[in-house]
Structures are given as C-alpha cells and as structure tokens.
Amino acid sequence: MKKITKISMQQNGERYNIFLDEAFFCGVTEDTLVKLRLKKGMEVDEADLAEIIKEENNNKCFNYAVFLLGKRNYFEKNLIEKLKQKEYDDEAISLALEKLYDYGYLDDRRLTEAFVRDKKKFSKKGPRYIASVLKTKGVEAEVIRQAIEENYQEDEALTNCKGLVLKKLEYYKKKTDDTYTLKGKLYAFLAQRGYHSEVIKKAIDEVLREQEADEI
C-alpha cells in the first residue's frame, strides 16, 4: 500500500499533481480527483493506482476531442481516427464519444445536414456526389438519405444543373457542332458532378430549348 502524501495544483490551475509517499506519481484533472475522491492521507493499492491512470486517460481523451471540435467540426468516424492517432484505447474513445453526444458537441445528423446545404449552395454538387462523400466519412446511409431528402429538393437540383449546363455549353459547342455529341459531353460532365440522370436530361433539354428560342 502507498499513501497520498500531497496533492498540489499545477501552475496552469487546471490540473493537480499527485504525490505518493512524498514522490510524484502523476498529474490528474479535477474531474479525476472528484470522481475517485482522491485526498491527502488516502491509502491506495495497485488496483487503485491503475484506476487513477485509466480514469485520467479517459479524461485526456475526452478533453482532446473537445479541443479538436473547438477548432472545426468532425464527423464521428474522422474524430475517432484522430483520437486513435494519439493512441487512446477503444474504451476511452467510446466513453468520450458518449459524453460528446450527451453534451451536443458531436452530432453527425446535424453536421450531415449542414454538409448537404453547403455543397448544394456553394459547390453546386449533385445529390449522388454528396451522398458518396458522406459515405466515405462514415455517415449512416439512412442519415444521408434523410438529410438529402429534407435539404436538397429536386427543383434545386434542376436549377443547379441548368446553371452548370449554361456554364459549360459554349465550351463544348466549340468542340462539336453535333447535338447528340454535345448532349453526351454535357451529360458526362453533370454525372461527374453527382446529378441523377432524369435531372440531367431535363436540364440539358430545357437549356437547349431556351437557347433555340432566343436565337429565333
């Protein structure tokens, strides 16, 4: 058995030093002190010491996650990867994620909705492209489906698609005077941007009809 002979606050005022039998043992957060009820004069065995280290590791993992989220938003999968890079174990990461969701610091559904709106508005990407990127970020398929369904209407996709047709039309007209080939090139370009075939065909046909009407 060992005895906690001293608990002193570190200079930053956020952590505490634990001394066992007058020798420094480790630094801990206030959360660890409170949860494990550590105090001067307390006797601890090897199991107690292991619990202190474990609890402190859990707190460090959570605090690092909060630090990361304070700098930018992360999807759960990306955040887990960051925490694993710091060599936090699965239990510490799992506990951190649970607290983050409870506190509202981590919310894949909210972030997915924001991602859809951002890509729709600023990048003019189509629903299929957005869904593909979100899938690589580890977002659940149903969350992706709902976010796109609720935040990316078909008329918005058509408007974006037509805008892209207008942007590329003159460029492709310089490469071919064949309407069939022109449509093919536009279709391929829009498909790469992530739009569905029905929307692509409608956008191309509407823009070409409008162009023909203006030329009459």
What string of pLDDT tens digits covers the 216 residues of the chain?
A: 899 999 999 887 778 999 999 999 988 988 888 889 999 999 999 999 999 999 999 999 999 999 999 999 999 999 999 999 999 999 999 999 999 999 999 999 999 999 999 999 999 999 999 999 999 999 999 999 999 999 999 999 999 999 999 999 999 999 898 999 999 999 999 999 999 999 999 999 999 998 877 665
CA dihedral angle for residue 105, residue 108, residue 112, residue 118, rounded to 10 degrees: 20
Amino acid 211: pLDDT: 84
Q: What is the pTM of this model?
A: 0.82
Amino acid 216: pLDDT: 54
CB 38 within 8 A of CB 3: no
As a whole number of angstroms, the distance between CA 212 and CA 205 comes to 11
Amino acid 14: pLDDT: 78
As a whole number of angstroms, the distance between CA 194 and CA 182 comes to 19
Q: Per DSSP, which regions of the chain are E strands? A: 2-9, 15-20, 23-29, 43-44
Amino acid 73: pLDDT: 93
Question: Angle at the Cα of 27 (from 49 to 90), degrees rounded to 5?
Answer: 65
Amino acid 214: pLDDT: 66
Amino acid 29: pLDDT: 87
Residue 26 has φ and ψ, to the nearest 5°, of -170, 170
Nearest alpha carbon to residue 36 among 7, 71, 1, 12: 7
- Residue 98 is given by DSSP the state H
Amino acid 46: pLDDT: 93
